[in-house]
C-alpha cells in the first residue's frame, strides 16, 4: 500500500487547456512523483476515480455524463478543486446559455453551413445535454477554486504544494493578476 498523496484529475466541458497548463510545472513534476500518485488522469488513462486525497476538476457541466463524473469525484475526493474559468463560472462553453438549446442544436446539426445529412443525433450512448452549462459549484460542494484561463503552471504548483503541506491555499496577487 502506497503512502503517497493520491491526486485525480478530469476534464468536463472545456478545452483541456487547464490540464496542459498543469504540465507547465515542468521539471517540478519529478518532485511530485516522489510524493504523489495519480489516480484518474490523462497521465494514467484510469476511467473511474478511486479514493483520493485531492481531485482537480476542469471544465463546466454541460451534460448528464459531466454530472455523473463530478458527483463521483466529490464522493471519492477528500478535497475538490475547481480549476479554471470553465469550472468556476462556465467559461466559453457557457456562451451557449444565451441561446435556447433547441436553437443551438438546429444550427449545429440541421441548418449549419456544410451540413450534408441534417439530423440531430439521438443515439442512446450520447449523454443528454443540460439546458444550460453550469459551473461545478452549482452541482457539488467545491473546497477550493484555482482561477485562470487556464491557471498558470505556477498557480498549480502553489495551490498543490500548499495543500500537500497542509496549508490553506493562498495565491499572491502576482500569480493571479492578468494586467
- In the chain, domain spans: 5-97+131-176
Helix axes 28-35, 153-164, angle to 10 degrees: 30
Please give the model's pTM, rounded to 2 decimal places: 0.91
Architecture of 5-97+131-176 per CATH? 3-Layer(aba) Sandwich (3.40)
What pLDDT, in 10s, does the model give residues 98-152?
999 999 999 999 998 999 999 999 899 999 999 999 999 999 999 999 999 999 9
Q: Is 118 in a helix, a strand, or coil?
A: coil
pLDDT at 1 over 70: no
Amino acid at each position: 500500500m502506497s503512502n503517497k498523496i493520491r491526486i485525480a484529475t478530469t476534464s468536463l466541458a472545456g478545452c483541456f487547456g487547464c490540464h496542459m497548463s498543469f504540465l507547465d510545472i515542468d521539471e517540478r513534476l519529478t518532485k511530485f512523483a516522489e510524493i504523489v500518485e495519480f489516480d484518474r488522469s490523462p497521465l494514467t488513462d484510469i476511467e473511474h476515480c478511486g479514493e483520493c486525497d485531492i481531485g482537480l476538476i476542469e471544465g463546466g457541466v454541460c451534460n448528464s455524463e459531466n454530472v455523473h463524473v463530478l458527483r463521483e469525484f466529490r464522493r471519492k475526493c477528500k478535497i475538490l478543486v475547481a480549476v479554471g474559468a470553465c469550472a468556476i463560472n462556465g467559461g466559453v462553453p457557457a456562451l451557449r446559455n444565451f441561446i435556447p438549446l433547441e436553437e443551438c442544436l438546429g444550427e449545429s446539426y440541421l441548418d449549419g453551413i456544410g451540413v450534408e445529412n441534417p439530423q440531430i443525433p439521438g443515439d442512446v450512448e450520447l449523454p443528454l445535454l443540460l439546458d444550460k452549462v453550469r459551473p461545478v459549484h452549482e452541482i457539488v460542494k467545491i473546497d477550493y477554486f484555482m482561477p485562470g484561463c487556464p491557471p498558470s503552471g505556477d498557480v498549480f504548483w502553489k495551490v498543490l504544494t500548499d495543500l500537500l503541506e497542509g496549508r490553506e491555499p493562498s495565491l499572491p496577487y502576482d500569480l493571479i493578476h492578468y494586467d
